[in-house]
Amino acid sequence: MQISIIILAQQEELLKQCLSRIRLYTEGSYELIVINDGASEEITRWVGLSNDIKTITNAQFVGVAKGYNQGAAIATGDRLVFIRDHMAVSERWLANLNACLDKYGDNAIAGPVSNDISGTQRVPFDCDNMEQLNNASKGLSIIKKGRYQSVTRIISNLFIINNECFRKLEGFDERFLLESYEDDDFCYRALQAGCSLYVTEDCFVRYVAPPSLFPEIPNWYFLQLEHNKAVAREKWGFDLTAALLNWKQPVTVSLCMIVKNNEATLEECLLSVSKWVDEIVIVDIGSTDRTKEIALKFTGFVVDYEGTHDLVKARNLCFSLATQKYILWLEAEDVVLPKDAEKFKYMLSHMGWNTDSVAMYDHYSFGENSNMAPGSRTNRLVKRERDYKWVGAVNEYLDIKGNIVQADICITHNKKHGN
């Protein structure tokens, strides 16, 4: 797969550092495109020493939106990497970004974590030199390997996107001059088009604060920010940053269950949820009654598991087979009563983008007219991409971290049919 790396260059020294690290730490073939924004003679002279760099020169500063669009217009790669000259990459940076798109498909957009930037991509590292950058990058590559976080905003300092997807979105809106808000606008349009945005937690790139473009105007960036903010409001009619923070994602659900000899309760359980979940995955751990027959009435996704004494492995296997955005787990004796089903469906249509898990009440019912109050809450709905695991040798439980929402929804455990 061919990659086009498009660098928006405005400072010679930063470009030298950026390019040298790209050459040092980028595996495989790639195309280099440098946008000499502001027609720096030093950049022209230095880039001219290499015969493998395509160059576009702008007599005046045109900034991120137009500069990136210029680079994309001449790029031949299947995937485009947009990067500012003040970003310093490290080992496996591109491989880790590519892996995210490989996993999530043609409509995914991915960006790294970094220091001293805004939003979800920020990590609390003091990174003052390249040695610290390399150490931080290696540590995250091990600890966070293959971990991606779904977000609603990727900043334009560095990200990767499929070329075809970029063209479908018609690039950046060049009404956003110089910098700021061009990335918010691009991300909002991407979300509207059904694209998914991810932070690759195992890819750390150092942000180096660039010199001011206009040192004679001390508050130029603030003025530019206010100008582009006004452009965004005029275009959309609302605060674009707030809209991204409050974005409600479409939620799909995989119901995951392990079962064994549950013919007395399984049908009632599945009837209570089957009409509003998107997928049902059942792992059978050795039923000898009609359990599998009942399950097959609701789903063709019934898997036999022979390790009947290791429930943790069986549950993790079940989770690994899910394909939807969220996983709901139930026991065969559980039911979602109609009033709670309505709450559940409402929640799914209003789910915040940053919800990692939803904790729900456990209600132990001992009869049709039981008025017992709900008990403690249990994490019942979890984001699949967070790759949560079941742990525990005796009383297995889900090891959950992140943004947990407390929901006024009950899962009723119907003891009258319990085994």
Helix (H, G, I), strand (E, B) or coil at 60: coil
Cα separation of 82 and 191, whole Å?
19
Helix (H, G, I), strand (E, B) or coil at 55: strand
Domain stop point among 221, 245, 269: 245
**Together in a domain, 30 and 83:** yes
Cα separation of 171 and 176, whole Å?
12
**Residue 415, pLDDT score:** 61
**Residue 14, pLDDT score:** 94
Cα separation of 391 and 311, whole Å?
10
**Residue 120, pLDDT score:** 87
* Alpha-carbon distance values, 179 to 71, 155, 156, 260, 332 (Å): 16, 11, 9, 59, 55
| 246, containing H or E segment | none
**Together in a domain, 151 and 192:** yes
* Alpha-carbon distance values, 194 to 109, 166, 190 (Å): 11, 13, 6
The CATH number assigned to the domain holding 128 equals 3.90.550.10
**Together in a domain, 160 and 277:** no
**Together in a domain, 134 and 174:** yes
pTM: 0.80
**Together in a domain, 411 and 330:** yes
**Together in a domain, 304 and 392:** yes
Query: Within a 13 Å sphere around the CA of 20, how many CA atoms are in the beta-carbon half?
Result: 8
**Together in a domain, 213 and 278:** no
**Together in a domain, 149 and 92:** yes
Cα separation of 6 and 107, whole Å?
19
What torsion, rounded to 10 degrees, do the Cα atoms 12, 16, 17, 19 define? 130
**Together in a domain, 236 and 270:** no
Q: If you search the block for the tokens 């119907």, which residue do you land on?
A: 414
Cα separation of 333 and 69, whole Å?
56
Cα separation of 124 and 52, whole Å?
36
DSSP state of 11: -
DSSP state of 405: E
**Residue 417, pLDDT score:** 45
Q: If you search the block for the tokens 């990335």, which residue do you land on?
A: 183
Cα separation of 377 and 120, whole Å?
28
pLDDT tens track, the chain, 419 positions: 899 999 999 999 999 999 999 999 998 999 999 999 999 999 999 988 888 999 999 999 999 999 999 999 999 999 999 999 999 998 899 999 999 999 988 999 999 999 888 888 988 776 666 677 777 777 777 777 888 888 999 999 999 999 999 999 999 999 999 999 999 999 999 999 989 999 999 899 988 888 889 999 989 999 999 999 999 999 999 999 999 988 887 789 999 999 999 999 999 999 999 999 999 999 999 999 999 999 999 999 999 998 667 889 999 999 999 999 999 999 999 999 999 999 999 999 888 888 999 999 998 755 555 555 566 899 999 999 888 999 987 778 899 988 899 999 999 987 654 44
Residues 224, 179: contact at Cβ < 8 Å?
A: yes
Name 339's Cβ contacts closer than 8 Å, sequence gap at least 6. none
What residue ranges in 164-299 does DSSP mark as E strands? Answer: 196-207, 253-259, 279-284
Parent domain of 178: 3-245
Task: Please choose, from the candidates 294, 296, 351, 297, the residue with its C-alpha nearest in 3D space to the C-alpha of residue 328.
Answer: 351
Name 294's Cβ contacts closer than 8 Å, sequence gap at least 6. 263, 266, 267, 270
**Together in a domain, 277 and 134:** no
How many independent structural domains does the chain possess?
A: 2
Strand 108-114 with 79-84, pairing:
unpaired
**Residue 419, pLDDT score:** 43
**Residue 308, pLDDT score:** 63
**Residue 372, pLDDT score:** 54
**Together in a domain, 263 and 200:** no
**Residue 180, pLDDT score:** 95
Domain stop point among 227, 245, 263: 245
Domain stop point among 210, 245, 280: 245
